[in-house]
Chain A
């Protein structure tokens, strides 16, 4: 916000403005790179965790009894060892399998279920909508983590129960977003036209509304994936997720907390792995937002 920039000479001004315009064009091109960078980082994480046995020879559970708490690089362990002499790099790579599985497994199920529920609520309206949205409100009344912990408390701590707890609670965000989108879309010309043509409800919802509204939930699912990874790690950290000796990023950080004064690498390095994957999803989300909804920024 300011006054107009004044130039002495119109032809010199044209050059300046042209240069500015070109810089803007380049900037919008650079945004696509964000998406590619995120995808590349995620690909690296997936390949490294799945292909861990091919990349490194150490086992995540093998004890190097002679070298516990070994610092990185020295002693043949690239990222050092933990209190039992287990290789940190191996544990990070194998442990990532659980966290990535949560990112994909928990997120995809809740994405699909929540989207369908939101679509139905928004499209049908009336008491169906009312009932569904009151249930959604109810879930939102609890702090997410507290509800998950309470459910796991009752079911007992395990990786599978962690999935169950997320499935039970986390579809509600998608339902809320999708419902809002559907309510708007329902009044749009293309939907009215499809209904006037006599298409069935299912066809209108899936073929007309969904393709035009899905971008919001898809972009949100990237944020949600980060949330789920952090959740899995948090539950591991609290001892409510993966159980020892299974390697998992959160449990590793929890293990390392006791040794934080002497051996900083045990707790910090798995956290960096979480940040790496999280930033990857963040960049994909930002990039998708630019590609799917240009003009939003």
Chain B
């Protein structure tokens, strides 16, 4: 039996989803009320330019032909032309990827570092000090908008106690780590809320499992029972939650980049909305969706390699 038994089916599923994503992004442009060329050009409208846009978007052709053209361009890596930046949208987007990618990974790691010990201890000592304190803290932090939390952290750690920079991306790996600490912490706190809750629940459930009694009956040390049976199983149960909620983390990135003025995809997305730079908006949405699909795939593979049961047909 293969450990990745259901993976082929998942790959088919993946292709279907990717196809759907292109459909959704394609039809996004159709939502523009009135004349898209007018909306795109705004004050720089001239008849010639409008015709150029109509032709480049293929607006004079039937809709399915337009979609075929869109897909054809997409396969060549062409997301359209940004009239605002006066450059291909692909080029503009690629330039903005590094800060966002760094921030996403940074905050995902930070969230794990915060949530693993707190969630585990809260579950182990239910009703204890850590459990009570983290419950109050995370109930409040769950209700905080990421952008507001970012401002508060700025106010405290950049203005009153100036230890971290107010904005910017820094240079070099260490520089990025330093400059992006507050933004990453802002996102990580929101993400950690979900992780702490699920890890706590998973730990409590694991502790009550009968196999824990079997392990203790063997006469091995408590530390070993906790490490090899409780922690391992509880973390496994949370891997899926972690993967699914990375989407949440990306939403946080969009906001936090705007608070800390980071030159990433989130800032680009919001600026492009006000600049009515539709090809860029479309491209960023597409890129984020593909990123999430990739993360989900990675989560499934991770789970399959950690948990022998995943990917097997388990008769119920």
Contacts and interface: CB of A to CB of B under 8 A. Distances in A.
Asked if A and B form a direct contact in the complex, defined as CB atoms under 8 angstroms apart, the reply is yes
Interface of A: 1-2, 134-135, 137-138, 140-147, 149-157, 226, 230, 233-234, 237-240, 250, 253, 256-257, 260-261, 264, 267-268, 271, 274-279, 281-283, 286
Nearest to A268: B152
Contacts of A141: 17, 20-21, 289, 292-293
B94 interface: no
Given A153-B281, A237-B145, A142 B140 contact: no
B142 interface: yes
B31 A142 contact: no
B145 A145 contact: no
| Nearest 10 interchain pairs by C-beta | A278-B143, A145-B251, A271-B148, A154-B31, A143-B250, A153-B273, A138-B20, A150-B285, A230-B145, A275-B143
B155 A268 contact: yes
B314 interface: no
Given A141-B17, A257-B259, 11 more contacts: A134-B16, A137-B17, A137-B20, A143-B288, A146-B254, A153-B281, A155-B32, A230-B146, A268-B155, A271-B144, A281-B143
B151 A134 contact: no
Given A153-B281, A154-B31, A140 B152 contact: no
B269 interface: yes
Contacts of A145: 250-251, 254-255
A278 B251 contact: no
20 contacts: A1-B222, A1-B230, A137-B17, A141-B17, A142-B285, A146-B254, A146-B289, A149-B254, A149-B273, A153-B273, A153-B278, A154-B31, A226-B142, A234-B146, A234-B255, A257-B151, A268-B151, A268-B152, A274-B145, A279-B139
B189 interface: no
B292 A142 contact: yes
B251 A151 contact: no
A234 B216 contact: no
B285 A155 contact: no
A152 B251 contact: no
B199 interface: no
Interface residues of B, number: 56
Contacts of B248: 143-144
Contacts of B139: 279, 282-283, 286
A153 B36 CA distance: 12
A164 to B, nearest CB: 10
B21 A142 contact: yes
Interface of A is mostly: helix
Nearest to A147: B285
Contacts of B278: 153-154
Contacts of B225: 1
Given A141-B289, A238-B258, A268-B152, A154 B21 contact: no
B144 A278 contact: yes
B216 A240 contact: no
Given A137-B17, A141-B292, A153-B273, A237 B142 contact: no
Given A134-B20, A153-B272, A257-B259, A271 B292 contact: no
Interface of B: 13, 16-17, 20-21, 24-25, 28-29, 31-33, 124, 139-140, 142-148, 151-152, 154-155, 159, 207, 212, 216, 222, 225, 230, 247-248, 250-251, 254-255, 258-259, 269-270, 272-274, 276, 278, 281-282, 284-285, 288-289, 292-293
A264 B148 CA distance: 12
A172 to B, nearest CB: 12
A177 B181 CA distance: 35
Nearest to B126: A297
A140 B247 contact: yes
Contacts of A286: 139
A234 B145 contact: yes
Nearest to B290: A141
B145 A233 contact: yes
B140 A275 contact: yes
A138 B24 CA distance: 9
B142 A278 contact: yes
Contact of B17 (A138, A234, A261): A138
A54 B288 CA distance: 47
